[in-house]
A and B are shown apart, each in its own frame.
Chain A
Amino acid sequence: GENVEQHPSTLSVQEGDSAVIKCTYSDSASNYFPWYKQELGKRPQLIIDIRSNVGEKKDQRIAVTLNKTAKHFSLHITETQPEDSAVYFCAASEAQHGDYKLSFGAGTTVTVRA
């Protein structure tokens, strides 16, 4: 099955700086790559996703890039704010043989210092 690795496990940035989280995946057939944000004690919520037919997607201060050849994708957060502090998870899809499921990375705890 799919194996997703996520780095770093923790990330501390100064408010206003950028944060970058990187993920690699193993299955070249994966075609959907979402990013979830989980605030303390809350449920994970989708913040951005990308499909394999595009290389980059932006939504205000958040962007995701995908390199299918290298099988890695990254989350970029610019102009970080205290409310960006949370755990971020990347995931990759497995839509093989009619099974629609996601494999998640281990998560990155982001702390934005005021």
Chain B
Amino acid sequence: DGGITQSPKYLFRKEGQNVTLSCEQNLNHDAMYWYRQDPGQGLRLIYYSQIVNDFQKGDIAEGYSVSREKKESFPLTVTSAQKNPTAFYLCASSILVSSGRVNEQFFGPGTRLTVL
């Protein structure tokens, strides 16, 4: 299961605090994604990036921010503006081969964030 890592595995946050979740990949993948997973709701896209120094909002970007300063790294910050941040957060990456062709996404092990 190597190639894409997330840290920490568990994270506890007090209300009003910002926290940053780490995601690193050594697969030389172009694209990276952040998802939020809640029971019964599948995987919802927060942000994604297809190239360094560029990223796009997903379906539930409010209260989150990202950066993509290096190809292998895509950290996610959960800000105090996120009203219900307790969830399981998954990072994924994929290779971009050619126009119009979506490819397999490889997932990291996830970070479980709990707001106290």
Contacts and interface: CB of A to CB of B under 8 A. Distances in A.
Interface residues of B, number: 30
Contact of B100 (A42, A95, A107): A95
Given A43-B90, A43-B109, A44-B90, A95 B41 contact: no
Interface string A89-112: 100011100111111111100000
Interface in A16-45: 31-32, 34, 36, 42-45
Contacts of B1: 43
Interface residues of A, number: 27
A7 B110 CA distance: 25
A49 B104 CA distance: 8
B43 interface: yes
A12 B109 CA distance: 26
A1 B109 CA distance: 27
B25 interface: no
B104 A100 contact: no
Interface of B: 1, 31, 33, 35, 40-45, 48, 50, 56, 58-59, 90, 94, 96, 99-110
Interface of A: 1, 6, 9, 31-32, 34, 36, 42-46, 49, 89, 93-95, 98-107
